Chains A and B, each alone.
Chain A
Amino acid sequence: MTQNFVMAFGGTGARCVEALTYLAASNAVQAPLHLLIVDPDETNGNVGEALKQLRRYHTIQEQVRPSTDAETPPFFSTRLNTDLGSDSYFWANPSPNVEFGSLINYAAHDADARALLDLLYDKEDMRLTFEKGYIGRAHIGSLDLMRTLRDQITTAAADERDRPDSMLQFFRKLRAATQQPGGARLIVFGSVFGGTGASGLPAVPPLLRSVLLSGLQRDLSIACVQVTPYFSFPPGGEEDPDSALHPLATQAALYHYSLTDTGYDRIYLVGAPGREQSNRNNVVGGDAQRNMAHYVELAAALAAAHFFAAPPPAGGAEVMACGAEEVRWDKLPFEKESDLRRRLVSFGTFCLMHARFLGPEMQERRHIGSRWMDVLTAREGRRLGGQEGVLRDLQDFSERALTWARELQRIDGVDLFALPEQQSEQALASVARGGTSRKPYHEIYSRLTATPDLKQQETGPGWYIEALTKASTQYSDSIYQGWGRS
């Protein structure tokens, strides 16, 4: 079976992975994925948010058994980083405090090489450390990332037994997958205008082909999602990143890619006509660099879904892009094939029902004595006290997913979700436009209550997640008329 891999560079890449996580959670993507986020800035808020969601997902998916019901499999049943720990999603820079000059062994080079380096980098560049990433300096990042990736890929290719490292594990799995029937598919996310993404995108294909798969039969399709500028932030100090320069950097990068063989079998070019302000401040890396979600990230995640479902034909490279004047469900690429609207809206309903109603009720043990608890506990070993760690993870995951959906709908011209701020149960019928329901809580709850025993679920949380998946999906099917199920 073909194995699917996703590599994401920088904050933008991480945000695309977060969107992909929601596609996986909602079953819009069902093939198992192996994900890795690469960012030298471990504390970056965008990366941190995506990682928190991935780690919560990891905990939750361990409780959920895949269902035999192909029509409505339980949410969270798409496997991510199977057999690996929750630390496998992120590669942390092992030496963030070491100066760039030391990392590239400036002093050890001969005079000619040093002269070349002096031409390309000034003294300030040489003194730069990477606690906050490459800070938009792709000319530094590209050399450092190339060096790092080459080391890791060389070690992975050598098949030596050494320290467990997430990037090493990723490349070893990728290498093994290319040697198995079906081969492997790898998609790389990154921005072409920033620091880390712009540095990582061009480095991956040549290193994989020349080092990782050197001397081996290659069965690997590689694609990338090149994200062009879609957000802005206020101007800062002289040394701070300036989002006004993003279009210029993009123009230069795309011009370069148009003249060069990038090594990718398919390139998805994703962007937006407007550049919404995504942060109130000019933040240079770190935890405060938290941008609001954007539909571009959802489109990038859909590009990955498309790549895994319809890989490029062998030989030749292709560039894919699509556009629309409005951002609506039916205008999103790959929407019909992935049953996106139905799945994401049902998942939104699931999250709302759990985060706002059932989760807090279970914490107060108000679910004890209900009919569905009788069914849940009918099988020996299945328990649901209400205070389990996995329920807290589900609560946090759901709340973040709802915030993500709300951030998408704040953008003018975007008509995807319609989540109201109100706390009443009517919000359950307003995850997207067009829902009508008199007693939404009751309609979902009574479906949950009527769920038969789900024998394949061995744990209480697993049973609860599958039952609530069915209840939320059936409810959404009933209230959103004519949403053109594929």
Chain B
Amino acid sequence: MSRKTYWVIVLILIAFIVLGLIFFFPSQDTNVQLQEVEQYYRTQDTIAVLIGIVLGIGSGLWSIGHVYHKPGEQGREYNARVAMRGALTGILAAIVAAIVAAAFASAAPFNPLAPIESVILVFTSGLMLVAMAIAAATAMMAYAVPTRAKAWGGQYAIVKRL
């Protein structure tokens, strides 16, 4: 994965987040207050940001010690491997954000729904995809920070100039 592709993916995710926040609405259930569901998504968005930052920086620091230059490898091939780790980190962050969201919904279900019904309720809205996209985009941006800031072989793999 090239540096350009990496940032195009991040931009697409950001565009999806912006458009999603405008056009997606919370799922509605006749027995559940809408404000409660809206508050749930706001909380999940904040948690997604935190998940993205933690996973992104952690994965970036881990990559510095574990992604090695190999003999015969071209500079851009190495950069591609570094970038691919960042993209995978984004996917991981999205999955973790979804699991945490499900856990939150089942641990504190909307009154009077059962835990499983609460989970189904929140996952039937596009806003859940927005929360996952927030986690992925944040993780990918956070991943780029340590790989650029540290004096390391791949320091310009994702961020070329500051």
Contact = CB atoms under 8 A, between A and B. Distances in A.
A109 interface: no
Given A369-B75, A373-B75, A442 B155 contact: no
Nearest to B150: A450
B155 A449 contact: yes
Contacts of B75: 366-371, 373
Contacts of A450: 151-153, 155
Interface residues of A, dominant DSSP: helix
Interface stretch (B23-31, B39-47, B66-74, B115-123): B66-74
Interface in A340-376: 357, 361, 366-371, 373-374
Nearest to B68: A442
A445 B156 contact: no
Interface residues of B, number: 17
Nearest to A444: B69
A374 B71 contact: no
Contacts of A441: 68-71
A256 interface: no
B76 interface: yes
Contacts of B76: 369-370
A454 to B, nearest CB: 16
A47 B153 CA distance: 42
B155 A371 contact: yes
A445 B68 CA distance: 9
Nearest to B64: A446
Contacts, number: 51
A414 B74 CA distance: 39
B69 A369 contact: no
Interface string B48-75: 0000000000000000000011111111
A311 to B, nearest CB: 44
Contacts of A366: 72-75
A471 B33 CA distance: 64
B74 A449 contact: no
Interface in A445-469: 445-446, 449-450
B154 to A, nearest CB: 8
Contacts of A373: 75
A439 B68 contact: yes
Contacts of A446: 69, 152-154
Contacts of A219: none
B37 to A, nearest CB: 48
Nearest to B75: A370
A425 interface: yes
Contacts of B69: 441-442, 445-446, 449
A450 B73 CA distance: 17
Given A442-B68, A442-B69, A446-B69, A369 B74 contact: yes
Nearest to A452: B151
Interface in A369-391: 369-371, 373-374
A445 B155 CA distance: 12
Contacts of B156: 371, 374
Interface in A411-465: 425, 439, 441-442, 445-446, 449-450
Contacts of A357: 71-72
A144 B80 CA distance: 67
A357 B70 CA distance: 10
A27 B107 CA distance: 69
A445 B72 contact: no
17 contacts: A361-B71, A361-B72, A366-B72, A368-B74, A370-B74, A371-B75, A371-B153, A374-B156, A441-B68, A442-B68, A442-B69, A442-B70, A442-B153, A445-B153, A446-B154, A449-B154, A450-B152
Interface of A: 357, 361, 366-371, 373-374, 425, 439, 441-442, 445-446, 449-450
Q: Which 3 A-B pairs have the closest CB atoms?
A: A370-B75, A446-B153, A442-B68
Given A367-B74, A370-B75, A425-B71, 19 more contacts: A361-B71, A366-B74, A366-B75, A369-B74, A369-B79, A370-B74, A370-B78, A374-B156, A441-B68, A441-B71, A442-B153, A445-B69, A445-B153, A446-B69, A449-B69, A449-B153, A450-B151, A450-B152, A450-B153
